[in-house]
Structure 1
């Protein structure tokens, strides 16, 4: 018998006052005369009238959803006790579009940007207590939401067909905004609204992952490092690319010349806010490639002419390794290539780096820069770990970051095949070769049994 089974049996008596739901409804429950079964320990006392508990819970959620509907202008509002990711997958979603802020709004945005920079520096203090860190985290969340509201808005068309659903997560009300019911999605099929994303990449809203500029720049750097590692490990292909670049830059012009690499005998400088914390896979691969180079020709005691003569005498394969390593060192900060704007590097990356995860793994340094809601969304929707997302909703962000770090470092043995594939392939969408979120995650809808080791660990 698993611990989860025992806990569920005990909960069948009612709702414990210390549970998220019990804490959320207790005051109103007592005001309405609901019966409470006392226990030796106060936190184990039970709210016996489960029907009254659910009624109060749904009333409070419905009120919050209606308040948000009125404030934002949506067409409908609804509420659910628990947000079921599998069920809600059938819903569509609309997103706010960028708007031009007026002078007052722009002034406030500048103030928010300056304050966020100060808060981020404070949060990097490893000596911070959990309470102080959480307070800073909540302040950052509030400021980012305020800045987003000043720069984005829903179109009238989208507001007329979408709504908001309120649910309880971690003892707090969570609003899922911009949802489009399945029947309304069907009606709109083939007629995207003004805010519909036609690029194949899902646009973010307030409840979804939107990458701050500082994080986006750092991810570009990490992707360039991964690409450099892939190039160093494919010397023949990279040699061809380098020679083609040198020749085509001289003989061709316009769009036929790629700007994705710098072949000008200078190593590319890469800046990163947290270089000491990022995954070191690509750095280790490049270092190993460097150790395998034949540098016998590179002797400062020789004249340049003698060095060149020794270089020319190298085996063709050794020359290819040298050229590949040098070219790899010129990769510039980047995201996935656009096939139309840079078809050469788009196809070349697919050849030598079909999966960036061979050179880079998400770790705590990345997860710590995500909001708690983003991490839960990644676990529940992208990785198919819906049960774990629900269980971790009441945990601190630090605990969720540690869980994700451990999960990606070595996927748990209790994962289903679909979940394991999703974890092995996941990365921020713009980091992948073709700029598409990992397809395997779409098949990861099956979650493990509630009494699994993952649920217990969470």
Structure 2
């Protein structure tokens, strides 16, 4: 068998013969030879010990398309000073692996003869080092532009993908970058624009727009990919926003809407460009649902953009009568409940993997959410057949139709406007700066008043930490009032006396409250950053951005906030100021406080417990409590109120009114 064939000789004339053939072992520039693939192996003298296995198929595709452009560098193998006829590859290990890949996949014959360049063994390491070190990686701009040149030469994206062993979308993405404005590509070649920034700029097809956005952001110093994308899609609606999900891409495009797709993003990185059209379609669908509900006989039906706790707290609620499903209908609902429970269990099992950004787990969770929503809608439809609204309730109550954050229609039925509510007998009047939806009752003990208002204080403080503007306004308000009307009190202490100790002292179970979690988190993050020594602290503060200073200021203003009181009527002017602050924060205590046994129910009478359950769940749910012992009623009521969002009058949003200042009350509050 012929081991190899000499093609030419370069360099020295020192020749040796193997199997009747002559070649040079001392060649300085190497000898071009052809060697059967089976006689090649990677030499231990090859200085490149690691290879990127992912890149081998791509290299193999290029070799298949264009041939082996650069020969392998080899040395003849010796065992006991005798030539074996095999050759070790000292440079070209990736090419050798790519050739093996082609043979393994049937793209090349195992008997193929490979072009090589043979060197003397004493130069093996040197040649390997020089060849590998001398390979300069192509600049990313050159890699991008080479695809454009291939297209200009007449190749299709599919042909380029086949020749380079990459997917067609990969080719399309590189071509997208290659077609950016020449001025942008020039900056990229000079390493003044990064690849991520380039991908973000590719969201715009217009060269002038690309350059305009880059130059505008460059002047501000905010040239991150995030800021570029934000500038380019300003005013557009991302496909996973609730309005876009509600209408759907297919329906939106069918109506003539245009979209912007990010080739470098996920399937969700699609932007709907015609916001007015989308909003019109949303309104039309919600109006159509409202018309269906009006036909049911409700006193009023209103479409609202949002309907959170603060909006819902302005209404009373009435409840329908419910009949119990039986037989096959009951079995069907039980089956749907079991299906939902199983899906949720699987969803929870995937949480740890999803938290680690496991794509497969995330995709499965998306599918599970869709199934849960679908089955949930079906269950709601089944259950609706066992709900009856008496005519008297329909004549007094109404419905709000809105869009959820998930992009589905939500129907809030049985809402009663304040003017339609029956007048409560013996309701207490609220003097001073605010009135509540149901006045604060004098039956609350002083301790419970301190407890609830301490929770309210903590909630406002927590909300202030994330709203520096409102915190700054509160501070300025206090400073202006202190200068012009020093007798007017405020919930903000200009001396920045921390009130958290008072909150913890009076608010039951505050350490576990959501407000405590927020406050502790924000304070801990700053404590870790701020120096303790005064002069060093001042110098450190000078280095912070204005936005960071505002955030720190918000924390300290929040820690000075205090509306803790025993006064049921809340006569002090500071409560009116507090109401204004809460309104600016859009605060709703339902997000911060729950009527648990310890926080409320065990501290009020059975009559008040029954009143709470009646308001939240209906009179039928409250009737059994009358025959229970106090401890049993507390436990039962806690279960019934869980998740209902019920608040006692002291914690409800109050309507802000202009009042005259009661100086004596002001003085009492400050003592």
Tell me which interval the TM-score lies in, with the shorter structure as reference length: 0.3 to 0.5
Query: Which structure is larger by alpha-carbon Rg, 1 or 2?
Result: 2
Q: Report the TM-score, using the length of structure 1 for normalisation.
A: 0.43
Q: Report the TM-score, using the length of structure 2 for normalisation.
A: 0.31
- Greater relative CO (CA pairs within 8 A, separation 6+): 1
